[in-house]
Structure 1
Amino acid sequence: MKLPSRTSLSFLALLLPLATSLPTTTSSATALGSPTNFYIVSCTDGPDDTDTDTDTFDAIAYYPRGTPNPPDASQSPSAYVEINRPSGPIEGELHAAEFAGDKWFNVRIDAGAGLLKPGEIAGSGDFEGEPFVCFKKSGVVWGEGKVRCEARYWCPSIQV
């Protein structure tokens, strides 16, 4: 019987800590990332029984614990902050919104991003140092009462 050489044993001893430190499933790697998502949305507000006007506005919607992509219309954000009333262009400008007690989300959607196809990279954001990338998006994000909002851009965290 041939015994392993001292060099082979030393090499194996070095590999063991490396092998045991690697993630074994994709779920453990996913768990390291942030679940936070933001949506840039365009909304209609009204009409209702007492108000016959329909207003429009743009907002940044905050989902701190994640959301399915795409979210269903029943999943309201934890908060949203209006950035335009009435709705208007948001591309090519920096927008900032305060969430979760003095924490700021800053987002810049690239000029011309409105012409992109859904899923294409449209800009970037930052939430207290956590980086986000924004994609062109479409479809209903949520509705509550007389307010209905459609996604324009989806910004998931890219922090791992």
Structure 2
Amino acid sequence: MILAPSSLLAGLAVLPVLVLSAPTAVAGSKHTVYLSTCTTTDCLLPILCEEDSFRAAVYFANGPIAEGSTRISTPTSVGTTTGNWEGAKRSARLGTAGTFSVNLPTTAKTAAKGSIAGEGTLGDEPFVCFKDGATDYKIRYSDERYNCKVDYYCPSYEV
């Protein structure tokens, strides 16, 4: 079958409409884990309180915190670990979601912000971790408030 030039042109004219009406939402997992250093903030007289700092894997099942947000966020789950994130495989239990395991080489500590630093998994779901070291955020979890600094940002890349 041979198409007339006018039929071909009519079909091509519809192409931009089809492209612009295609869904633009990212297909795949919204799961995000922030490997963070957090401190408690629920102290009435800070001068009398010891600063309690700890390493935490902070899990958001519905996507990352909005960039530049100053609001207090409520994560899906928080799991703690000991030691540095770099140089050994670390794991943190994230409630019913499972255990997040991450493997960051020692060189990740000196990596540039935004560079790929390592990888992680939550069950069978794969994550890639990027160096941060500068982003601050606030969370409320188990009736406590925490100030956290993102050491590494780990979004899922499961499709």
- Verify same fold: TM over 0.5: yes
Please give the alpha-carbon distance, in whole angstroms, between the structure 1 residues aligned to 2:66 and 2:115.
15
Give the aligned residue type for 1:82.
Answer: T
The offset of 1:117, in angstroms, is 1.4
Please give the alpha-carbon distance, in whole angstroms, between the structure 1 residues aligned to 2:110 and 2:126.
24
Equivalent of residue 111 in structure 1, options 81, 84, 106: 106
TM-score of the superposition, structure 2-length normalised? Answer: 0.73
The offset of 1:143, in angstroms, is 4.1
Equivalent of residue 29 in structure 2, options 25, 34, 45: 34
| Structure 1 residue matching 2:150: 3-state secondary structure | strand
Change (3 A) 1:57 1:70: same
Percent sequence identity over matched residues?
Answer: 26
Please give the alpha-carbon distance, in whole angstroms, between the structure 1 residues aligned to 2:29 and 2:131.
20
Please give the alpha-carbon distance, in whole angstroms, between the structure 1 residues aligned to 2:115 and 2:33.
16
Structure 2: gaps (5+ residues): 4-17
Give the aligned residue type for 1:124.
Answer: E
Give the aligned residue type for 1:94.
Answer: K
- Counterpart in 2 of 1:64? 61
Displaced runs of 4+ in structure 1, greater than 3 A? 23-31, 68-71, 143-146
Structure 1: gaps (5+ residues): 1-5, 9-22
TM-score of the superposition, structure 1-length normalised? Answer: 0.73
| Structure 2 residue matching 1:66: 3-state secondary structure | coil
The offset of 1:135, in angstroms, is 0.2
Please give the alpha-carbon distance, in whole angstroms, between the structure 2 residues aligned to 1:25 and 1:38.
32
| Structure 1 residue matching 2:158: 3-state secondary structure | coil
**Contact 1:59–1:83 (8 Å) recurs in 2:** yes
Please give the alpha-carbon distance, in whole angstroms, between the structure 2 residues aligned to 1:123 and 1:71.
24
> How many pairs does the alignment contain?
141
Q: Quote the RMSD (CA, aligned, Å).
A: 3.0
The offset of 1:46, in angstroms, is 4.8
